[in-house]
Amino acid sequence: MKGQETRRLSDEYEVLDILGRGGFSIVRRGIKKSSTHHVAIKTLRRLGPSVMLPSPPEGRKREKQQQLHQREGVAVSDALLTNEILVMRRIVEEVAPHDNVIQLYDVCEDPTGDVHLILELCSGGELFDRIVAQERYSEAGAAAVVRQIASGLEALHRANIVHRDLKPENCLFLNEREDSPLKIMDFGLSSVEEEFTHPVVGLFGSIDYVSPEALDRGQGSIISSKSDMWSLGVILYILLSGYVYMHGEFSFYEKTWKNISASAKQLISGLLTVDPDRRPSANEILQHPWVIGYSAKQEQMDAEIVSRLQSFNARRKLRAAAIASMWSCSIFLRTKKLRSLVGTYDLKPEELGSLREHFQKICEKGDNATLPEFEEVLRAMNLSSLIPLAPRIFDLFDNNRDGTVDMREIICGFSSLKNSQGDDALRLCFQALPEDCLPVDITEPGKLDEIFDRMDANSDGQVTFDEFKAAMQIDSSLKDVVLSSLRPV
């Protein structure tokens, strides 16, 4: 990684298509202009003035602590962002390059405060996607996966970095080749063992893979590198059975596990040991006979396990898609701001339809509009009273600060303006979105209700803060919704 000075992303990189979205980030493909090297660009948005990319080796610890403490009063999204950058920098200094840890090439910071992490591009897909697509799947194949994750963890743990959100979605293959390295990524929730980590960081993370000591926030529960080993145990449990591991319900049910080698079961039992001190370390399991491949079976896994794994993966993806749609919740929150700008500007359904048409006609590049294009749409619709406000409205919707807005979001915003009830607004949001950008089932009758019911634990038709918090802990992806709502607009 080179110099720390603030440089604009667009000077050095050409930004291409979207690879994925996170809670308050967007990841896009990019090309380094000077070398045509392909990269992934993860853009994180921050509040307030630009701070603290550099950190000199001497007295680094104290300085970082101060920086974090100083920022304690700021938004959650900011604390997480700061954390991710600190951890990535530590990886650059003490871990990289490593075959199984995502590499950070560079950091760019825009004058607006947005930070772009220039990362190694992983184009080989997610861990489980590849496993279920394989024609042959054996214990030996699963062992190769565990070996790679353990090897990455060993290097991270040696640098005192705890990932804290290890899950299959955060393991990507570098390329399409069969022998592609598997990379651990997404350090947004990670921590450095001997350093201060903003407590808010611990609020998030996927409950399915989290260790008992991380779950129990009581006194004396210390999150250490052993917490990652638990998560690896859960991943392995799923890899070899196709069953989701439930806390406290851990068994090697006779029928499912009868063909799995004793050595693999012994490893799982070790990793899923409640007492972290008795749980093996990454370094230790790298010597384990099953992990090195010595005692891992070569035979094709039972068809039943493979098909269960496939359906687990499908369900997981569907859930992720539904939750990604909930991300549109943020549209609702933004609508409030829009209302404060333009009042209850009532657009009739026909007008909404024509807004969409105009956008489609005028926007050159698919769904995204520039400010002049947006103004042109307003003029075409005889909404000239809104033109003086156009830059501010535009700004409200320009999530990633790239000078364009997604016209679908603007339509959603306007369509929900007159409906002050959140529920209705949300429903409208989904209706206004073109069908092809929604997960298939979200428009099904009852689907949205289901999502709300899930959050509304006492069924009084309202989601209290406590219910919301509980839902967030059960389903970490809900943090997307929260974070988007905290995102500055």
Ligand X SMILES: Nc1ncnc2c1ncn2[C@@H]1O[C@H](COP(=O)(O)OP(=O)(O)OP(=O)(O)O)[C@@H](O)[C@H]1O
Binding site for ligand X (CB under 6 A): 19-23, 25, 27, 40, 42, 102, 119-122, 169, 172, 185-186, 188, 480
x-marked contacts with Ca ion along 314-333 as a string, rule CB under 5 A: --------------------
Q: State the binding partner of 122 from ligand X, Ca ion, none, CB within 5 to 8 A by kind.
A: ligand X
The first and second tokens of residue 11, run together, are 């000077």
Q: State the binding partner of 86 from Ca ion, ligand X, none, CB within 5 to 8 A by kind.
A: none
Residue 254 beta carbon to ligand X: minimum distance, rounded to whole angstroms: 36
Q: Are 83 and 197 in contact (CB under 8 A)?
A: yes
Instruction: For ligand X, give the closer residue by CB, 123 or 354.
Output: 123
Q: Rule CB under 5 A: which of 176-195 touch Ca ion?
A: 186
Q: What are the Cα distances from residue 121, in Å, to 22, 42, 175, 185, 258? A: 16, 10, 9, 11, 40
Q: State the binding partner of 480 from ligand X, Ca ion, none, CB within 5 to 8 A by kind.
A: ligand X
* Residue nearest ligand X, CB atom distance: 22
Instruction: For ligand X, give the closer residue by CB, 13 or 257.
Output: 13
Q: State the binding partner of 422 from ligand X, Ca ion, none, CB within 5 to 8 A by kind.
A: none
Q: Are 225 and 281 in contact (CB under 8 A)?
A: yes
DSSP letter string, 254-314: HHHHTTS-HHHHHHHHHHT-SSGGGSPPHHHHTT-TTTTTSSS--SBPPHHHHHHHHHHHH
Q: State the binding partner of 119 from Ca ion, ligand X, none, CB within 5 to 8 A by kind.
A: ligand X
Rounded CA separation 37/410 (Å): 34
Q: What are the Cα distances from residue 352, in Å, to 303, 349, 364? A: 51, 5, 20
Q: Is the dihedral of CA 347, 373, 16, 85 positive or negative?
A: negative
Q: Are 29 and 43 in contact (CB under 8 A)?
A: no
Total residues interacting with Ca ion, rule: CB under 5 A = 1
Instruction: For ligand X, give the closer residue by CB, 68 or 323.
Output: 323
Residue 167 beta carbon to Ca ion: minimum distance, rounded to whole angstroms: 8
Instruction: For ligand X, give the closer residue by CB, 40 or 229.
Output: 40
Rounded CA separation 323/328 (Å): 9
The DSSP code for 443 is T
SS3 44: strand
Instruction: For ligand X, give the closer residue by CB, 80 or 378.
Output: 80
Q: State the binding partner of 427 from Ca ion, ligand X, none, CB within 5 to 8 A by kind.
A: none
Which runs of E-coded beta strand occur in 78-228? 104-109, 115-120, 161-162, 171-173, 182-184, 191-192
Q: Does 208 interact with Ca ion (rule: CB under 5 A)? A: no
**Residue pointed to by tokens 């802990």:** 473
Residue 172 beta carbon to ligand X: minimum distance, rounded to whole angstroms: 6
Q: State the binding partner of 121 from ligand X, Ca ion, none, CB within 5 to 8 A by kind.
A: ligand X
* Residue nearest Ca ion, CB atom distance: 186
Residue 284 beta carbon to ligand X: minimum distance, rounded to whole angstroms: 28
- Residue 162 pairs in a beta bridge with 191
Q: State the binding partner of 102 from ligand X, Ca ion, none, CB within 5 to 8 A by kind.
A: ligand X
**Catalytic center residues:** 165
SS3 414: helix
**352 Cβ neighbours under 8 A, 6+ residues apart:** 411, 414, 415, 432
Residue 337 beta carbon to ligand X: minimum distance, rounded to whole angstroms: 23
**Position 55: which residue type?**
S
φ and ψ at 57, to 5 degrees?
-55, -40
Residue 186 beta carbon to ligand X: minimum distance, rounded to whole angstroms: 4
Residue 186 beta carbon to Ca ion: minimum distance, rounded to whole angstroms: 4
Rounded CA separation 268/233 (Å): 6
Instruction: For Ca ion, give the closer residue by CB, 131 or 185.
Output: 185
Residue 279 beta carbon to ligand X: minimum distance, rounded to whole angstroms: 25
Instruction: For Ca ion, give the closer residue by CB, 101 or 260.
Output: 101
Q: Report strand pairing: 161-162 vs 115-120.
A: unpaired
Rounded CA separation 329/308 (Å): 32
**191 Cβ neighbours under 8 A, 6+ residues apart:** 83, 87, 161, 162, 164, 197, 201, 223
Instruction: For ligand X, give the closer residue by CB, 279 or 316.
Output: 316
Return residues touching Ca ion (CB under 5 A).
186
